[in-house]
Amino acid sequence: MDTSMGKLSRRMRKWTADILDLPQDVAYDLPRMIMIGDRQLYIENHRGVIHFSSEQLRLKLSKGELEVNGMDLIIRTIWTEEVFIEGRITSVNLKDGEGKR
């Protein structure tokens, strides 16, 4: 989706988002994460599971990859765009250029 987006359309989107004061995740199709301490993590806008073990979960994003490290990880529930993880989370890494939220 994002790959097919031209430079112009990307600028248009940024301009619209600035004018309308839209949240960035809506504007750029970015993942949104809600983390409760080290025990719960709620991620929106993922693009599928790449790897899952009790120590690590790697999720595909619209751009790049999200890596969740921890112990005893469980996917409580998973839908096509959302995932709810429980366990003892030690780190959340975003790969491929995007910054950590």
Site for other proteins contains 36 (CB under 8 A): no
Site for other proteins contains 79 (CB under 8 A): yes
Looking at 4-12, 16-24, 48-56, 62-70, which segment touches other proteins (CB under 8 A)? 48-56
For 67-71, the CB contacts below 8 A with 24+ separation are 67/91, 67/92, 67/93, 67/94, 67/95, 68/41, 68/92, 68/93, 69/93, 70/38
Site for other proteins contains 65 (CB under 8 A): no
Site for other proteins contains 77 (CB under 8 A): yes
Q: Which residues here bind other proteins, judged by CB under 8 A?
A: 48-54, 73-80
